Amino acid sequence: MWPDGPQSTASSPRCVKGASCSHYIGPVATAEQTPLECHEVTKVFGVNLATARALLANGCDRQQVLDETGCLVAVQGATFSVQRGETFVVMGLSGSGKSTLIRCLSRLIEPTSGTVKIDGAPISELDDQELRELRRKRLSMVFQHFGLFPHRKVIDNVAFGLEIQGASKADRYERALEVLSVVGLGGWADHFPQQLSGGMQQRVGLARALCVEPEILFFDEPFSALDPLIRRDMQDELLSLQARMQRTLVFITHDFHEALKLGDRIAIMKDGEFVQVGTPEQIVSAPADDYVREFTEDAPKTKVITVGSVMRPLDGAAPSGEPVGVDAVLEDVLARLLADPAALGVVDDRGDVVGVVDRERVADLLGESSRAGAARADRAAEQP
Ligand SMILES: Nc1ncnc2c1ncn2[C@@H]1O[C@H](COP(=O)(O)OP(=O)(O)OP(=O)(O)O)[C@@H](O)[C@H]1O
Ligand SMILES: [Mg+2]
């Protein structure tokens, strides 16, 4: 069962009916192919599209296009790729274009221009049947509002994807029960969705998405409706599943802390465009503009900034005690630095000492962030 490890590889996509089945099961990938690539994806809503496109091509901005044509540029020029095993988070305020973008990735919304490739194949070239098969077998989506069928038991909700693929009842129930136990709902198969809490229903949504063994999973604010504690549990659950299953994930959120926790890379979106794409550490330590900086001011810096990025050269220093790895985050060394003023040695992947980290450097960094927080509080207090 794949939640314990990536068994269904991209080069062997399989139909639940077995090896003899001739169903289309998506483009056959090789190990080198990037699971998901987007190039200059743009979506414009409105009727006067030809003029809107011409204006965009001439360098007009979103507001000019809106003023002159009445068309809304929801997504503009989104270019990125996601590797197998990577969680790519798209984060931005309400209306920034996140849902439109993620819907373009599976052609639930047709992009106005640009290319989306799955395992190297442009999805714009798929006919209706192929697109349906792709969505059924290679992609899964999890939405904020769980979208469960109220009249179906939990197990039939989870097994739905396999049912429409034509799997036998025995096969799909066996798989659904396995996935239910992976998301911690082993005993709930025969209940109906309304008998479950919101958090449990979202687990059912997650189990349903996982049941078809998708290569690529799209999440559109799946945890936004959940209480903070349940939300944290679900985030932890997703992290642990992804560590085991190594799928290709695109996760939408408007919560920067969630983005930092889940994302290997984060794209920050504003008014339909990516304003910055980077690792959590890159974004927190070097925000591209004020819009991004606003999000980072409250960020738990010690959880994302690595020792490697704040260490200083050895310069004859004699570090004490057990060294720390360059990839350790500051949170991992804080207690030791507070307990002992001596600098700690920092070692690279090969175990060679490449620098030292000390209390002063970390205190400077944390001081900068608390000064920024205080300045922001002052600004807020000055507002009428
Ligand atoms: N079908 C549509 N027709 C016209 N405009 C639309 C349509 N869908 C979305 N929009 C507009 O596109 C812009 C982006 O919307 P989108 O739903 O992608 O934002 P979002 O970032 O997902 O926001 P939220 O965080 O509130 O879910 C918004 O201005 C929205 O009004
Ligand atoms: Mg949305």
Residue type, 101: L
- Phi-psi bin for 137: left (phi > 0), alpha (psi -120 to 50), beta? alpha
Give yes or no for residue 74 CB within 6 A of ligand 1: yes
Per-residue pLDDT band for 157 (boundaries 50, 70, 90) equals very high
pTM: 0.83
Give yes or no for residue 96 CB within 6 A of ligand 1: yes
What is the per-residue pLDDT for 384? Answer: 60
What is the per-residue pLDDT for 8? Answer: 38
Establish if 353 belongs to a structural domain: yes
Percent above pLDDT 70 for the chain: 87
Per-residue pLDDT band for 378 (boundaries 50, 70, 90) equals low
What are the helix (H) ranges across 246-289? 256-262, 280-285
- Where does a domain end: 276, 296, 316? 296
What is the per-residue pLDDT for 16? Answer: 34
Do 219 and 91 reside in the same domain of the chain?
yes
Cα 128 to Cα 114: distance, rounded to the nearest angstrom: 19
Do 360 and 233 reside in the same domain of the chain?
no
Give yes or no for residue 94 CB within 6 A of ligand 1: yes
What is the per-residue pLDDT for 226? Answer: 80
Do 360 and 223 reside in the same domain of the chain?
no
Cα 328 to Cα 346: distance, rounded to the nearest angstrom: 9
3-state secondary structure of 55: helix
Give yes or no for residue 104 CB within 6 A of ligand 1: no
Give yes or no for residue 98 CB within 6 A of ligand 1: yes
What is the per-residue pLDDT for 174? Answer: 95
Specify the ligand 1 atom closest to the Cα of 272: 14
| The token pair that represents 64 in the structure block | 């000019």
Check residues 8 and 316 and name the one with the higher pLDDT: 316
pLDDT one-digit tens code per residue, 235-283: 998 998 899 889 999 999 999 999 999 999 999 999 999 999 999 999 9
Mean pLDDT score of the chain, rounded to an integer?
Answer: 86
Q: Which of 63, 65, 71, 72 to mutate to test the pocket of ligand 1 (most atoms within 8 A of CB)?
A: 72
Do 224 and 372 reside in the same domain of the chain?
no
Check residues 44 and 373 and name the one with the higher pLDDT: 44
Cα 34 to Cα 171: distance, rounded to the nearest angstrom: 31
What is the per-residue pLDDT for 156? Answer: 97
Do 235 and 360 reside in the same domain of the chain?
no
pLDDT one-digit tens code per residue, 101-124: 999 999 999 999 999 999 999 999
| Total domains, the chain | 2
pLDDT one-digit tens code per residue, 168-197: 999 999 999 999 988 889 899 999 999 998
pLDDT one-digit tens code per residue, 297-346: 888 888 899 998 889 888 777 777 889 999 999 999 888 888 888 888 99
What is the per-residue pLDDT for 337? Answer: 86
Task: List the end-to-end C-alpha distance of the chain, in Å, as a whole number.
Answer: 58
Establish if 340 belongs to a structural domain: yes
Establish if 277 belongs to a structural domain: yes
